[in-house]
Amino acid sequence: MGEKTKIAVAPEIQVGGSLFSPEQLAKIGTILGADAKIEMTPFKQLYVEVPLDRRDAIVEQFKLVGLEVYPPGSTTKSLIACHFCKGAEEAGLDTARILNQAIAGIETPTPLKIGYAGCALGTSEPLLKDIGVVKMRNTFDIYVGGEPKGLKTSIAKLLLTGLTEDRLVPVIKALVDFYKENAKGKEKFNKFIDRITLDHLKQIAG
């Protein structure tokens, strides 16, 4: 048995939510084999182990059937998006995909969950994510500091409102970069915000 490495696999962001096709599931099963252990994570990703020397070839095979592959562990996770029940255009499907391409897989002190909701219904629970993006008609509101785990859960606080689409990626990347550079060890994002303060974070994002 050679050395193995873990990868995170997810379907593309689409209307209807996190939908795997039969072809994609068959490909995963065929490549990994009958004895594989496949973990469904809270990030809407599958964690799988693959031989290190075949990693790149396997990633390419996954991509050929429309799967997206990300690094596991302490990174910004692929965007946890809603089902786009208002429709792809109204709910901003293209915007969500662009944001995901820009932020997913960045190494961070702890795993960073970024949620996206195409309307105020918030079916992706953006206010329970480290960073939540909510589309409000033609602009976006940004929330920070949500934490669903433990006995003391916290709801994300409003950071910015009325953000235009062209500002969305730069603002989210600025928040992630600032966290990377200023977190103390493995400091969780909500604890980091408490220490830095919301007002300071607004200056960084603004």
Nearest to 86 by CA among 53, 116, 56: 116
Q: How many domains, the chain?
A: 2
- Point out the domain boundary residue: 23, 52, 70: 70
Regarding whether 98 and 64 lie in a shared domain, the answer is no
Angle of helix 198-205 versus helix 189-196 axis, rounded to 10? 100
DSSP letters of 58-123?
HHHHHHHTTEEEE--SSBBPSPEE---TT-HHHHTHHHHHHHHHHHTT-B-SS-B-EEEESSTT-T
With respect to residue 84, please indicate whether it lies within any of the assigned structural domains: yes
From 70, 102, 125, give the residue that closes a domain.
70
State whether 127 and 171 are in the same domain.
yes
Q: Which DSSP letter does residue 36 get?
A: -
In this structure, are 64 and 110 located in the same domain? no
* Domain, as residue range, for 13: 4-70
- Looking at the fold, whether 20 and 99 belong to one and the same domain comes out as no
Q: What angle do CA 148, 151, 152 make, to 5 degrees?
A: 70
Please check whether residues 121 and 30 belong to one and the same domain.
no
Please tell me the distance from the alpha carbon of residue 62 to that of residue 57, in angstroms, as a whole number: 9
Same domain, 162 and 65: no
Give residue for tokens 């995901």: 100
pLDDT digit string (tens) for the chain, length 206 residues: 579 999 999 999 999 999 999 999 999 999 999 889 999 998 999 999 999 999 999 999 999 999 999 999 999 999 999 999 999 999 999 999 999 999 999 999 999 999 999 999 999 999 999 999 999 999 999 999 999 887 778 999 999 999 999 999 999 999 999 999 999 999 999 999 999 999 999 999 87
Q: Do 45 and 117 fall within a single domain?
A: no
C-alpha–C-alpha distance, residues 142 and 124, integer Å: 14
191 and 108 inside one domain:
yes
The reply to whether 45 falls in a domain is yes
Total-model pTM: 0.93
Could you tell me the CATH number of the domain that includes residue 64?
3.30.70.260
